[in-house]
Amino acid sequence: MKKKKKKKNTWPLIVTGMAFIISLVFSLISEITMPKVNLIFGILILLLFIIIGIIFDMIGVAVTSTDEEPLHAMSSKKIKGAKKAVSFKKNADKVSSFCNDVIGDICGIISGSAGVTIAALIAKNFNLNLFWVGLIITSIIAALTIGGKALCKSIAIKNNNKIVYLTAKTLSIFERKKK
């Protein structure tokens, strides 16, 4: 009797590489743009990173909590994006890891970095103590991120199938058609 080959789990290596590349790109964008922008635009960029982190966290929670059966029913009816939604559910651990850990954590780190730049701008423009401004900005970033994720987790659980399908449908727009 032959033993089955044990499949190697390469996902941790893949996700580590993806995290490095995505973090590099996000950091590069942040480091190039943040020092050159005014305070209002800097705050908008910061909020964008926070919102991206919250949205991806919501997708990750939705994928892990969704039911596969409705997605299969949609797929059998050939509804655009449903096949990808089934694939997301079948790979929920990887999709969740990518959304929550890779994108979510990177956005958290980058928003902290952007917060430092904003704190420096506020301290300089209003002649305030950088230590206290930085402390307050960091606390605001943490509160918005955690509060946003807490709010969106319940939304993700209640609307999991819709969120997974909408995400899959959106991503299927960018896929090439197989010939």
Q: Looking at residues 89-95, what average pLDDT do you find?
A: 95
Give tens-digit pLDDT for 8-38.
Answer: 789 899 999 999 999 999 889 888 888 888 9
Residue 35: per-residue pLDDT: 83
Does residue 33 belong to any structural domain of this protein?
A: no
Give tens-digit pLDDT for 118-171.
Answer: 999 999 999 999 999 999 999 999 999 999 999 999 999 999 999 999 999 999
Does residue 15 belong to any structural domain of this protein?
A: no
Does residue 135 belong to any structural domain of this protein?
A: yes
Helical segments of the chain, H only: 11-33, 39-65, 68-76, 82-90, 92-96, 104-125, 130-158, 160-172
Angle at 68 between CA 67 and CA 72, to 5 degrees: 135
CB 165: neighbour CB atoms within 10 A? Answer: 24
Determine the Cα–Cα distance for residues 160 and 70; give it in Å rounded to an integer: 11
Determine the Cα–Cα distance for residues 138 and 45; give it in Å rounded to an integer: 15
pTM: 0.87
Give tens-digit pLDDT for 27-81.
Answer: 898 888 888 889 999 999 999 999 999 999 999 999 999 999 999 999 999 898 8
How many structural domains are present in the chain? 1
- Does the pLDDT of residue 6 top 80, yes or no? no
Structural domain including 56 reads 41-167
Does residue 71 belong to any structural domain of this protein?
A: yes
Does residue 34 belong to any structural domain of this protein?
A: no
Pairwise pLDDT comparison (118 vs 172), residue with the higher score:
118
Does residue 30 belong to any structural domain of this protein?
A: no
Does residue 22 belong to any structural domain of this protein?
A: no
Residue 54: per-residue pLDDT: 97
Does residue 147 belong to any structural domain of this protein?
A: yes
